[in-house]
Structure 1
Amino acid sequence: MARVMIVDDSPTDVHNIKSILTKAGHAVLEASSGQDALDRIKSERPDAVIMDVVMPGVNGFQATRMLSKDPSTANIPIVVISSKNQESDRMWALRQGAKEYVTKPIKESDLLGKLSQALGGK
């Protein structure tokens, strides 16, 4: 399946998302911050990124924008996950370059469905 990088500063959320992804057959990489993800995505070249929004330092919106504007990473689909469930938050994430948006608490079917859509049905 796909190599997916989870970017989240919550060990609990990383554990839960990793469990969902590995059960579905995906290989999982982890980054604990937006800056960590920016530093590693160019070298790790994941097939997709699951990006939390609220993180210290470089937040998920900022990291998504930077990745989507960089020609070397612009083709890596990003699924933003957030506890922010307002339509304006979803629209802002999409304007930053995210392909999909999932709200917390994460439902397995929602995450896998949105990831599949972001990957183009892979």
Structure 2
Amino acid sequence: MTTVLLVEDSLTETEVLTQYLRQAGLTVVSVKSGEEAHIKLQLQKPDLVILDVILPGQSGFELCRELKANANTQKIPVVICSTKGSKADKLWGSMLGADAYIPKPVNQQELMQTIQQLTTV
């Protein structure tokens, strides 16, 4: 079964995304900050990471860069889900190593297609 680490500080977004992911048969581990994500990643290696950009403390962009720079986590696909959906934001996410960038509000079909592409490669 595919495990997704969801890094999202909004309770509403966490509930919506968790519901989408569970409907697709995925296991969801959710945390509210980059710091919590680092702790979870030391304990368990997910198959995919979904990141919000605006988080308490460390931003999702910074966390993405760290994940892609670390030999233990660099192969884990990272999807950024954010209200910051300008071309510049998407380009920045891509430059930092994000494998996909989905604007909020998240389209369930787009999210599932993206996850399927990234986890079957």
User: What is the TM-score with the length of structure 1 in the denominator?
Assistant: 0.95
Distance in 1 (CA, whole Å) between partners of 2:107 and 2:45 is 26
| Distance across 2 between alignment mates of 1:74 and 1:6 | 17
Distance 2:99 2:118 in 1: 6
The question of 1:97 aligning with 2:97 is answered yes
User: Residue 108 of structure 1: CA displacement?
Assistant: 0.3
Contact 1:79–1:118 (CA under 8 A) maintained in structure 2? no
SS at match of 2:19: helix
Name the SS for the 2:98 alignment partner: coil
Q: Note the C-alpha offset of 1:114.
A: 1.2
Deviation at 1:48, TM superposition (A): 0.3
Task: Describe the superposition over 1:12-67 as per-residue Cα deviations: whole angstroms up to 9, x where unpaired.
Answer: 10000000000010011011101111221132110001100001101100000001
Q: Separation in 2 of the partners of 1:57 and 1:35?
A: 8
Letter in 2 for 1:97: G
Quote the residue 1:46 is aligned against.
46
**Distance in structure 2 (CA, Å) of the matches to 1:62 and 1:109:** 27
Structure 2, gaps ≥5 residues long:
none
The superposition leaves residues 95-117 of structure 1 with CA deviations (integer Å, 9 ceiling, x where unpaired) of 11110000000110011111122
**Which ranges of structure 1 fall in alignment gaps of 5 or more residues?**
none
Aligned equivalents of 2:50 and 2:117: distance in 1?
13
Confirm or deny: 8 A CA contact 1:6 1:14 kept in the other structure.
yes
Quick one: distance in 2 between partners of 1:109 and 1:79? 14
Equivalence for 1:64: 64
Length, aligned pairs only: 121
The runs of 4+ residues in structure 1 deviating greater than 3 Å are none
Task: Calculate percent identity across the aligned residue pairs.
Answer: 33
SS of alignment partner, residue 30 of structure 1 = strand
Instruction: Judge conservation of contact 1:4–1:28 (CA < 8 Å) in 2.
Output: yes
Cα drift, residue 71 of structure 1:
0.2
TM-score normalised to the size of structure 2?
Answer: 0.95
Q: Distance in 1 between matches of 2:52 and 2:44?
A: 18
